[in-house]
Structure 1
Amino acid sequence: MKKGIILLVVATFFWAGNYICGRYLGSALPATLLNTIRWAISTLILWGLLAINKSKLPIFLRWKEFLILGFLGIFAFSTLNYLGLRSISASQAGMISAGIPITILVFTPFFLKEKIKTKAWIGAIISIIGVILLIQGRQTTSSEGSLLGEIEILLSCVAWGMYTVLGKKYGRKIDALTLTAGSAFYGTLFSAISCIGTVDSSLIHMTKNAWICIIYVSTFASVIAYFAWNAGVKIIGAGRAAPYINLLPVWTVLLGVLLLQEQISGFTCIGGLITIFGAVLASVQSKAVSATRT
């Protein structure tokens, strides 16, 4: 149990760094190309780890599971994040991501057949109110660009919620490393296809720091973080893992303030705290639910 918690904490910290890098890379690369490069590198690393462990990747045998998870967690989640970070701050994106446990809560009964407490649904409502306040308190001017960025981050939360729940389901038969490697392969294919007609060479402005960010998101925020999250969820279960995603906005705000000198308004902080509180309450599962973990 302790090992699973540590893995989840490590994953959220490295993902917070992904928000920081994504914000920085917004002016360096189109979101679709950034995600393709990130996961192409990550896929090669993951396949190398499988080779070292002398493990085979059932890329065609388990194609359905890999394709679904690749689309949700690798392509949709990451691309939507990078798109959103072009118009809103990393801190704000991180706080909106506090709504992820709510999406996990919503999808859990459908895919894992786990019963959800009434208290959890109350927490979900509180968290949704917090997200609404968070969006209303955005620092930028009320423009279509910033609103679109917020919607993109919200949609990424939905994608991640489905990825987490289905990852738990598929993880009963597939180990975490193989699951991540297979998902990365199909997710990279989706990302590469999305580059067609959306990438122009004039939009690419790479610098030394940009390459450092690419290396970070391709290793720490991808291979290490995804492996840690999948392994942690497998150890303690999707229901118990949900509250730990709330560390993501905390890490993101801290890193955004320290590294990007971002500032957040008091109204935004209130919305973020309410979102986190509701998400934590919503993530409290019954003994019956926790007992279903593998």
Structure 2
Amino acid sequence: MFKNEYDSDITTWSPTGRLFQIEYANEAVNNGSATVGVKGRDYVVLTALKRSPVAELSSYQEKVFEIDEHVGMSISGLVADGRVLARFLRTECMNYRYMYSDGMPMNQMADMVGEKHQRHIQFGGKRPFGVGLLLAGYDRQGPHLYQTVPSGDVYDYKATAMGVRSQASRTYLEKHFVHFTDCTLDELVVHALKALASATSEGVELNVKNTTIAIVGKDTPFTIFEEESARRYLDEFKMRPEDRVAAADDEEEVLHEQPLDVEE
């Protein structure tokens, strides 16, 4: 009823107390290709599904970006907005390293991204960033996995997923995240791939062309796997049919359950 009158300005609230521009940005995130983050005792793993190109000669769009040697990010939503935020974070990390000869702490970086999101919804003449980020990094406090959303909220997770059909991925993560602290790096990668596979559409299989794997952790800089390294995990990884069926069956049920534990 009021939608057409109140959806053109980010600073205008509808009579029902809604900001439609933020809702549109959230829909862009929810409809983006899926990405999964998993945190263990010493490592964080990011996996992302790249959508197939529309044109035959087009390449897949990258969904994972290195920010600094100790941090990287994956995105879901508008890729162009993700690249803007990646450039912003790279500049801030470079300035911090120049000033302090050390990497920027992860909590400071996550707050900085949240403020960047929030500034775009506080004043007129701008629009929200239509992208959500998973920030994975390792600093003096250990591994970290943060999620940011267009509204400017920042969450600290043990494991999470975003993008289209990500509810199935979260179902898988909710069943297994209590074991992640005891997992080796290889086991974390397999868990992340299984969660990502749960979000794929029927008939789509993970392969080196449409899947990106990245890791960061103790004594391990942020690394995006090349095709040969990724192929080793993808060849070993097989999503059991019962895993996929169980994830689909529980998707409706988990909507009424509590989300993954968020660390204080």
TM-score between the two structures when normalised by the length of structure 2 = 0.30
Please state which structure has a larger fraction of its residues in helix: 1
Q: Per chain length, whose mean CA-contact separation is higher, i.e. which structure has more relative contact order (CA < 8 Å, sep 6+)?
A: 1
Please state which structure has a larger fraction of its residues in strand: 2
TM-score between the two structures when normalised by the length of structure 1 = 0.28
